[in-house]
Amino acid sequence: MLKVVIAGASGRMGQALLEGIFADDELQLHGAIDRADSPRIGHDAGEQFGRVTGVKITADVASALAGADVLVDFTRPEASMEYLAICEKNGVKLVLGTTGFSVEQKQQIATTAQKLAVVFAPNMSVGVTLLINLVQAAAKVLADGYDVEIIEAHHRHKVDAPSGTALRLGEAAASALGRDLQTCAVYGREGVTGERDANTIGFATVRGGDVVGDHTVLFAGIGERVELTHKASSRATFALGALRAAKYLADRQSGLFDMQDVLGLK
C-alpha cells in the first residue's frame, strides 16, 4: 500500500485529496501537513469526514514525511520549494500541482528530479491533460490565418494569473506553431493597442465567486471559430488525477514527469 502525505491538508484541495485517499484501497494516509497557524493543527486528519485515522495534522514537515512514499502538494511556491528540499533529503517522491513558480524555481524542480521522482503539472485533471493534446493537434492544423486566444476563469481566492493551466495550454499551442510563448504572449490589453499581431497568443483572466476552473483555447479565423473548452465543477477531478500520479511514481526512482506521462499520452 502506498503511504501518502498531503500538504495543505486543511485547504480545499487538501480536503479533496484526503477524501480521495479514504476511497482508495491502494493508498494509505501517512501524514498531513499544514501551516503552523492553522486551527486544524493537532486534529485528526479524518475528523471532518467522521474518521479516526490516527494521523494528526502537523506543521513539522520532516516528521510527517518520515517513512512516507510520496508527498502530494497543491500549496504555494514558497512552501513547495521547502517541501521539495525535504523530500530530496528524505527520499520521498513528490506530486506537485502548485502553480505560480518562477523560472528559477522550475529549474530547481528539474534539478531535484534528477535524484528524485517528481510528477509536476499545473493541472492534474485527466480532461485537461487531454485538452493539451487536442490544442497541439488543432494548432498544427490551424497554423495559418487563425488567432490564438486563451480565456481562463477561477474563484476569487486564486492568487496567480494567468493560471498555470492557461500558461501550459499556451505553451502547447506555441510549441505546435513554432513560437516561444515568453516572447509572443500578450497578457493584457488596454487603450489604443493597434491591430492584433498575428504571431501573438493572448490571455484573458476572470476571477470571481467559487469558479473551480474554466479554460478555453480559441482559434479565431475568418468566418469561423474553433473553441476547445474544459470546465471543472469539482476539485475531485484534480485530486483523483494527483492520486493517480502518486501511484505512477510507485516504481520510479527519479525523473521529471507530467500528466501526459501518467496517462501514457506521450
Cβ atoms of 241 and 259 within 8 Å: the answer is yes
Cβ atoms of 69 and 4 within 8 Å: the answer is yes
Residues 6+ apart with CB under 8 A from 193: none
Of 30, 154, 215, 230, which residue is the catalytic one?
Answer: 154
Please choose, from the candidates 191, 5, 203, 158, the residue with its C-alpha nearest in 3D space to the C-alpha of residue 94: 5
Of 3, 43, 56, 158, which residue is the catalytic one?
Answer: 158
SS3 category, 184: helix
Question: Distance (Å, rounded) from C-alpha 119 to C-alpha 44?
Answer: 28
Q: What is the DSSP letter of 197?
A: P
Tell me the angle at which helices 12-22 and 236-248 cross, rounded to the nearest 10 degrees: 60
Backbone angles phi, psi at 5, to 5 degrees: -115, 135
158 is catalytic: yes
Cite the active site residues.
Answer: 154, 158
